[in-house]
Amino acid sequence: MATFNPKHFSNADVLRTIDPARLLDLLKPHEDYLNRQGLSLPSAQQAAVLDIDRLADLLETPDETAPQQLLNAIGYIDEMSTTQAMDKLLSVAIEAGMKFDHAKQHSPADVAVQVWLFDPSIVIDQHAWHTWRSPRRMDCFRPDGDTLKTRKKLTVARIKQGEKDLSDWLHTNNRSSFCNFSVRTLVDRIQVSIQRGDPFTRKPTIENDAIQNIHYRPAGKDTVVLRLADHMLECNTSIRRALPIYCRVFGTMFFGDPEYFSESKIVSLAFLEEYGEEAVSWGDVDEIEQIYFVEYQVDLGGDQNATMTYRADDILADLATRDKKLHFEGRLKDATFKVKFRGTHPLRTVKVYDGNATCYTRDANATFAEQWLKLRNFIIESNAKVGVEVDDKALASA
């Protein structure tokens, strides 16, 4: 769980780079709390005399009486007070109509405060991408057939309808009706960061020098990625039974077809089962230096749901020392490999699940990992061709 640690706003020198009048506007709604903490807010005309050192101390070590709205605002603004975040915030806010004086000098923290005062939702939305990390595990779904549909243009209305469609399901499954999509389009994919609710929970806290229990609904976060080259839909969610719903919602949002994505098998371990050690070879992928087969799990069948896991630093080397050959006693459920990419020091874990899921770091080496998985028939390739992007009006007039 993230801790409250505003490294910029607990630094008095950074706070002094923020326009005093704007900083005062940010703090004014919480004046009563700040007064109780020994910080008096000056009038708007005297904003420059604000006790910055005292403010930095208060923000570094807030107590349990600190308003959640203040901590929430400071948390978002602080994490967006970097040069990289500033550039993105400015472009989005100015496009949305925020007035900005280019003739003046503005620090990243000053820009973040300006945008928050203009529209907090811009900061919150951009924060989702500034802190975004691609999940390792993805459940993958692709269209059926040899012809891929044309992709609809992502309008605000389509995105809002997608939020509503998913919200309806979440609400009836004890996750609240709140649902927010943050969408960004890259060269080869469309990424969607989904904020939603989780079931109510209880957590002990300290209040008035005593243990108290607070009841609240935690926020959950899911990720959906549409790969433009082959229309592969990649989903990461802790709600496993929601995966068919995600297929329907995003099939509608991207292509106007709730049945577009199929739950048919994409990942297969059959090649590993049939060819054993040969399936672990890597010589035809130049960027891979070494692969170790380190773990697998098999389904032994029977009415007790028995499974068996074999784990070693190098399963093939371990079997060789025992004068044994690779043999699976049941149906393979998953297989895990450690991969050494050229030019990198640490081994990277690549895990495949028989069915629809893969698990590995989605970084620059992901392309080489996927290339190897396809060459070894772990990923069943599609021969479908991709259409072009069109909007609803274009389709209606065709």
Q: CA 148 to CA 374: how far, in whole Å? A: 20
Is the predicted pLDDT of residue 391 greater than 90, yes or no?
no
The backbone region for 273, taken as left when phi is positive above 0, alpha when psi lies in -120 to 50, beta otherwise, is: alpha
Q: CA 245 to CA 258: how far, in whole Å? A: 9
Q: CA 138 to CA 151: how far, in whole Å? A: 22
> How many Cβ atoms from other residues are within 10 Å of residue 341's Cβ?
19
Q: CA 334 to CA 331: how far, in whole Å? A: 9
Q: Residue 46 pairs with which residues in a beta bridge?
A: none
59 secondary structure, DSSP code: H
Q: CA 51 to CA 254: how far, in whole Å? A: 52
Q: CA 153 to CA 165: how far, in whole Å? A: 18
**The predicted structure's pLDDT at residue 228:** 94
Tokens linked to 116: 């928050």
Helical H segments across 189-304, by residue range: 243-255, 270-275
Is the predicted pLDDT of residue 1 greater than 50, yes or no?
no
Percent of residues, the chain, with pLDDT higher than 90: 76
The residue written with tokens 């900083």 in the block is 23
Is the predicted pLDDT of residue 393 greater than 60, yes or no?
no
Q: What angle do CA 218, 219, 221 make, to 5 degrees?
A: 140
263 secondary structure, DSSP code: -
41 secondary structure, DSSP code: P
CB proximity list for 14: less than 8 A, separation 6 or greater: 8, 81, 107, 109
The pLDDT of 356-372, averaged and rounded, is 90
Q: CA 335 to CA 281: how far, in whole Å? A: 14
Q: CA 302 to CA 79: how far, in whole Å? A: 52
The pLDDT of 46-58, averaged and rounded, is 93
CB neighbour burial string for 90-127, b if at least 16 within 10 angstroms, e if fewer = bebbeeeebeeeeeeebbbbbbbbbbbbbeeebbbbbb
pTM as predicted: 0.80
Is the predicted pLDDT of residue 392 greater than 50, yes or no?
no
The backbone region for 209, taken as left when phi is positive above 0, alpha when psi lies in -120 to 50, beta otherwise, is: left
Cβ contact 47:20 at 8 Å: yes
Tokens linked to 35: 């007064």
Taking only the tens place, the pLDDT of each residue in 74-119 is 999 999 999 999 999 999 999 999 999 998 999 999 999 999 999 9
Q: What angle do CA 252, 253, 257 make, to 5 degrees?
A: 20
Q: What angle do CA 237, 122, 46 make, to 5 degrees?
A: 135
**The predicted structure's pLDDT at residue 40:** 93
- Between 341 and 364, name the one with better pLDDT: 341
Is the predicted pLDDT of residue 65 greater than 90, yes or no?
no
* Residue 244 CA to its chain's centroid (Å): 19
Cβ contact 297:272 at 8 Å: no
261 burial via Cβ count (<10 Å: 0-12, 13-18, 19+): buried
Q: CA 138 to CA 116: how far, in whole Å? A: 33
Taking only the tens place, the pLDDT of each residue in 260-296 is 999 888 999 999 999 999 999 999 999 999 999 999 9
Tokens linked to 230: 């082959």
The pLDDT of 204-218, averaged and rounded, is 83
Grouping H, G, I as helix, E, B as strand and the rest as coil, residue 99 is: coil
320-325 long-range CB contacts below 8 Å, 24 or more apart? 325/276, 325/277
Is the predicted pLDDT of residue 346 greater than 60, yes or no?
yes
Side-chain half-sphere CA neighbours of 184 within 13 A: 13
Is the predicted pLDDT of residue 383 greater than 80, yes or no?
no
Band of residue 387 on the pLDDT scale cut at 50, 70, 90: very low
